């Protein structure tokens, strides 16, 4: 059984789960290829019997680059039968509609979700970075990794039954009209543009602080930053992940989160700063 996993991970949470799932899957199936989204062609799944996708929740749904990967993917069904598909998600505690959106995207590309896995991942969104999140802190932990391995073992049995005998119990994918409405609202082109204009901060380069080290260029998941001689961002393809801000060692990408923190209520939460060394 040829298995392939593609995953997107910006700060390493989904990567940890992907590694655990790949190791176990390779043991159970004899083979499991794995690629990061940035290096995967949307047609990659065509050469495999069973395929999996890992992602973080961004803005209550899948990150936009993940959405485009599925949209650009050729149909995966063979002789009228959908290809077995599984997915895994890490999130900070409010995943919104990510599960049913991925399920629907997979379906639209001739794949059938045979199961999914989810766990918390420490929230890496910059405006939340200076407090100790109540739920996701420390995740994924050893227990999450253990559960991911158990999931991987099961998935190979389930895929075998699906491919061999056509047996299959459709998993119950979380999601309802509330999560659909919230994710749908934040996915609307006009709302996204409005958020970008009025709620999310612009990225202001401070040339005095920038050492032109290129870290932001290398780590932007969209590959849209160039040094010229200071970072220039092609904003039209930006997925608003703010990884460039997170990763800059000299705070040369200045983002003013005050409006976002005010509107999202972050200012009014009891702040629990992460103790040094924790």
Ligand X SMILES: Cc1cc2nc3c(=O)[nH]c(=O)nc-3n(C[C@H](O)[C@H](O)[C@H](O)COP(=O)(O)O)c2cc1C
Spatial CB neighbours of 103, under 8 Å, sequence gap ≥ 6: 87, 113, 116, 173
User: Per rule CB under 6 A, is residue 93 in the interface with ligand X?
Assistant: yes
Minimum CB distance to ligand X smaller for 19 or for 154: 19
Binding ligand X (rule: CB under 6 A), the pick from 22, 82, 90, 245 is: 90
The minimum distance between CB 89 and ligand X, in angstroms, equals 8
Binding ligand X (rule: CB under 6 A), the pick from 84, 95, 201, 221 is: 95
Question: Among the candidate windows 70-78, 117-125, 161-169, 218-226, which touches ligand X by CB under 6 A?
Answer: 117-125
102 binds, among ligand SF4, ligand X, none (CB under 5 to 8 A by kind): none
Minimum CB distance to ligand SF4 smaller for 31 or for 212: 212
The minimum distance between CB 172 and ligand X, in angstroms, equals 20
Binding ligand X (rule: CB under 6 A), the pick from 77, 94, 143, 202 is: 94
The minimum distance between CB 96 and ligand SF4, in angstroms, equals 19
Near ligand X in 1-60, by CB under 6 A: 9-15, 56-60
127 binds, among ligand SF4, ligand X, none (CB under 5 to 8 A by kind): none
Residue located via tokens 């039954």? 161
Write the CA distances from 214 to 34, 204, 225, 240, 249, integer angstroms.
27, 16, 9, 19, 11
Nearest-CA neighbor of 195 among 13, 58, 56? 58
Is the Cβ–Cβ distance between 27 and 1 less than 8 Å?
no
The minimum distance between CB 103 and ligand X, in angstroms, equals 17
The minimum distance between CB 55 and ligand SF4, in angstroms, equals 15
Minimum CB distance to ligand SF4 smaller for 6 or for 241: 241
Minimum CB distance to ligand X smaller for 162 or for 260: 260
Residues contributing to the site for ligand SF4 (CB under 6 A): 210-216, 220-222, 224-225, 231, 233, 238-244, 248, 250, 252-253
74 binds, among ligand SF4, ligand X, none (CB under 5 to 8 A by kind): none
Nearest-CA neighbor of 175 among 89, 251, 108, 233? 89
Residues at the contact surface with ligand X, assessed by CB under 6 A = 9-15, 56-60, 90-96, 121-125, 241
């Amino acid at each position: 059984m040829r298995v392939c996993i593609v995953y997107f991970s910006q700060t390493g949470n989904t990567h940890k789960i992907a590694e655990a799932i790949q190791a176990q899957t390779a043991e159970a199936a004899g083979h499991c290829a794995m690629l990061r989204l940035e290096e995967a062609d949307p047609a990659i799944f065509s050469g495999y019997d069973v395929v999996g996708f890992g992602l973080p929740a961004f803005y209550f749904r899948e990150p936009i680059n993940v959405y485009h990967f599925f949209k650009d993917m050729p149909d995966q069904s063979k002789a009228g039968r959908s290809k077995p598909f599984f997915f895994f998600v890490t999130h900070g505690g409010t995943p919104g509609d990510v599960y049913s959106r991925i399920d629907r995207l997979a379906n639209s590309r001739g794949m059938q979700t045979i199961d999914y896995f989810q766990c918390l991942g420490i929230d890496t969104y910059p405006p939340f970075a200076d407090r100790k999140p109540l739920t996701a802190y420390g995740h994924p932990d050893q227990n999450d990794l253990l559960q991911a391995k158990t999931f991987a073992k099961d998935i190979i049995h389930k895929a075998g039954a699906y491919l061999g005998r056509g047996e299959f119990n459709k998993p119950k994918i979380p999601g309802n009209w509330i999560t659909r409405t919230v994710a749908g609202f934040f996915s609307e082109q006009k709302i996204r543009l409005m958020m970008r204009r009025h709620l999310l901060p612009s990225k202001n380069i401070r040339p005095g602080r920038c050492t032109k080290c290129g870290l932001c260029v290398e780590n932007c998941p969209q590959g849209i930053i160039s040094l010229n001689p200071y970072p220039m961002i092609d904003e039209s393809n930006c997925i608003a992940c703010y990884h460039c801000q997170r990763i800059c060692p000299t705070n040369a990408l200045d983002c003013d989160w005050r409006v976002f923190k005010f509107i999202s209520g972050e200012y009014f939460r009891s702040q629990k700063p992460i103790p040094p060394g924790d």
